[in-house]
Structure 1
Amino acid sequence: MSSEHMQIGEVAARTELSLRTIRHYEETGLVTPSARSQGGFRLYTETDVARLMVIRRMKPLGFTLDEMRDLLTATDRLDAPDAPDPAERAQLLERVRGYETAAARKIEDLRRQLARAEDFAATLRARTARTADDA
């Protein structure tokens, strides 16, 4: 086994994803191990880890598996050795920009939700402090 390949356990530790989640992403075609050991173990590269990190970052923003696949397909094509022609490149960049815009919008939604949650927690703290003072 080459030192550039990692087994799934190391990838799980590095990405903070469970083995089950990584296998699920493989089953759905989002990430395919770059190789297999002679014993049949999945072997991953830094590129595979980078793909998993993209997925891990998209998930809490509520992107679907299809959206993750679409973004990864677009970025794979942009990074391909046989560069896309200018028209295809422009279309791919527009797709990636669409995800960037969607991510920014989802982040703002999460910030609003977090502010509401913090207000709620502060209300509860104030309430329990008042109750404790009354005792």
Structure 2
Amino acid sequence: MDSRHMQIGEVAARTELSLRTIRHYEETGLVIPSARSRGGFRLYTETDVARLMVIRRMKPLGFTLEQMRDLLAATDRLDSGELDTGEREALLERVRTFERAAEEQVEKLRVQLARAEDFAATLRGRLEEPAPAARP
């Protein structure tokens, strides 16, 4: 169970997200702090950190905030355990759709990485070429 609470600074350090980004995700409703301290400070749990990590992983793959919200809603509902078979299958299919989209983005990134590595190798080769003989 999530009994230990963390302040936003610790969450930022653990997720490698800025305080501003975490606050933005709160403003957009993606992650709501589980509690507030008596002084009004945001308090987060391990579940909140896990949710932020999902968002952090989705962002570089080009998912929109709305898509993030949709996936998180589906996984939240799946985690609730109060589903009939039809609803569970529909939610799993939504998650599968995101999994396929993530795999497509990963493949595109692999192609980009291969091209970048080829480019770097070309430059490295250029730098390793012997200098042409100087003309008198």
- Tell me whether the two structures share a fold, i.e. TM-score over 0.5: yes
Provide the secondary structure at the position in 2 that maps to 1:134: coil
Match of 1:84 in 2: 83
Match of 1:98 in 2: 97
- CA drift of 1:84 comes to 1.4
Match of 2:29 in 1: 29
Q: Please give the per-residue CA displacement for 1:28-68, whole angstroms capped at 9, x wherever unaligned.
A: 11000000001000000010000001001111111111111
Q: Within 5 A, what are the aligned runs for 1:54-73? A: 54-73=54-73
- Give structure 2 stretches of 5+ with no counterpart: none
Aligned residues with identical type, % of pairs: 76
Relative distance call for 1:107 and 1:4 in structure 2 (3 A) is same
Coordinate RMSD, CA, aligned: 1.3
Q: Please give the per-residue CA displacement for 1:72-129, whole angstroms capped at 9, x wherever unaligned.
A: 0000000015x11111111000000000111111100000000000000001111122
Q: Return the alpha-carbon distance in structure 2 between the equivalents of residues 126 and 20 of structure 1.
A: 42
Match of 2:41 in 1: 41
- CA drift of 1:22 comes to 0.3
- Give structure 1 stretches of 5+ with no counterpart: none
Which ranges of 4 or more aligned residues in structure 1 deviate by more than 2 Å?
none
Match of 2:131 in 1: 134
* Matched residues, number: 131
Provide the secondary structure at the position in 2 that maps to 1:43: strand
Q: TM-score under structure 2 normalisation?
A: 0.93
Provide the secondary structure at the position in 2 that maps to 1:40: coil
Match of 1:115 in 2: 114
- CA drift of 1:3 comes to 6.4
Q: TM-score under structure 1 normalisation?
A: 0.93
Assess if the C-alpha contact under 8 Å between 2:3 and 2:45 holds in 1: no
